[in-house]
Chains A and B, each alone.
Chain A
Amino acid sequence: MENRTDKNSYTIIFAIAMVLIVGSLLAFTAASLKPTITENERMEKQQNILYAMGVNDNEEGSANFISTDKVAGEFSKYIQKQLVIENGSASENNQAYLIDVKKEQTKAKSGETRRLPLFVGEKDGKTFYIAPIRGKGLWDAIWAYVAMDENMVVQGAYFDHKGETPGLGANIKQRFFMDDFIGEHLLDASGNFKGITVAKGNADPKNLDKTDNEVDAIAGATITGDGVTAMIKKDLKLYWPYFKTLKK
Chain B
Amino acid sequence: MGLLSKKDANLILDPLADNNPITIQVLGICSALAITAELKASIVMAVSVLFVLGIGNVVISLMRNIIPSKIRIIVQLVVVAALVIIVDQVLKAYAYELSKTLSVFVGLIITNCIIMGRFEAFALGNGPWRSFLDGIGNAAGYGLILIIVGFFRELLGSGTLLGFKVLGDPIEKTGLYAIGYENNGFMLLSPMALIVVGIIIWIQRSRNKALIED
Contacts and interface: CB of A to CB of B under 8 A. Distances in A.
A19 B81 CA distance: 12
B210 to A, nearest CB: 35
Chain B interface mostly: helix
B92 A167 contact: no
B163 A220 contact: no
A6 B78 contact: no
Contacts of A163: 103-104, 107
B66 A14 contact: yes
Contacts of B74: 15
Contacts of A62: 163
Nearest to B153: A167
Given A166-B41, A167-B188, A37 B89 contact: yes
Contacts of A11: 68, 70-71
Contacts of B153: 167
Given A5-B66, A6-B69, A206-B171, A29 B86 contact: yes
Interface in B71-111: 71, 74-75, 78, 82, 85-86, 89-90, 92-94, 96, 103-104, 107
Contact of A18 (B38, B78, B86): B78
Contact of A33 (B36, B41, B66, B90): B90
B180 to A, nearest CB: 17
A147 to B, nearest CB: 21
Interface residues of B, number: 39
Interface string A26-52: 100110010011001000100000000
Contact of B68 (A5, A25, A44, A220): A5
Given A11-B70, A11-B71, A220-B189, A40 B92 contact: yes
Contacts of A6: 68-70
B125 interface: no
Nearest to A207: B171
Contact of A25 (B71, B82, B90, B189): B82
Chain A interface bracket (under 10, 10 to 19, 20 to 34, 35 or more): 20 to 34
B37 interface: yes
Interface string A200-230: 0000011000000000000110000000000
Nearest to B97: A65
Interface in B21-72: 34-38, 40-41, 65-71
A61 to B, nearest CB: 7
A72 interface: no
A40 B96 contact: yes
Interface in B173-199: 183, 185, 188-189
A220 B157 CA distance: 10
Contact of A166 (B86, B90, B104): B104
A26 B71 CA distance: 21
A30 B89 contact: yes
Contact of B37 (A15, A19, A167): A167
A10 B68 contact: yes
B163 A33 contact: no
A22 B82 contact: yes
A37 B71 contact: no
B134 interface: no
Interface string B123-137: 000000000000000
10 contacts: A5-B69, A6-B69, A11-B68, A18-B75, A18-B78, A22-B82, A37-B89, A40-B96, A167-B154, A205-B171
Interface of A: 3, 5-7, 10-11, 14-15, 18-19, 22, 25-26, 29-30, 33, 36-37, 40, 44, 61-62, 162-168, 170, 205-206, 219-220
Interface of B: 34-38, 40-41, 65-71, 74-75, 78, 82, 85-86, 89-90, 92-94, 96, 103-104, 107, 153-154, 157-158, 163, 171, 183, 185, 188-189
Closest 9 CB pairs of A and B: A167-B37, A167-B38, A166-B41, A220-B188, A36-B93, A11-B68, A33-B93, A40-B96, A219-B185
Given A29-B86, A37-B92, A166-B41, 13 more contacts: A5-B68, A11-B71, A14-B75, A22-B82, A29-B90, A33-B92, A33-B93, A163-B103, A166-B40, A167-B36, A167-B37, A220-B157, A220-B185
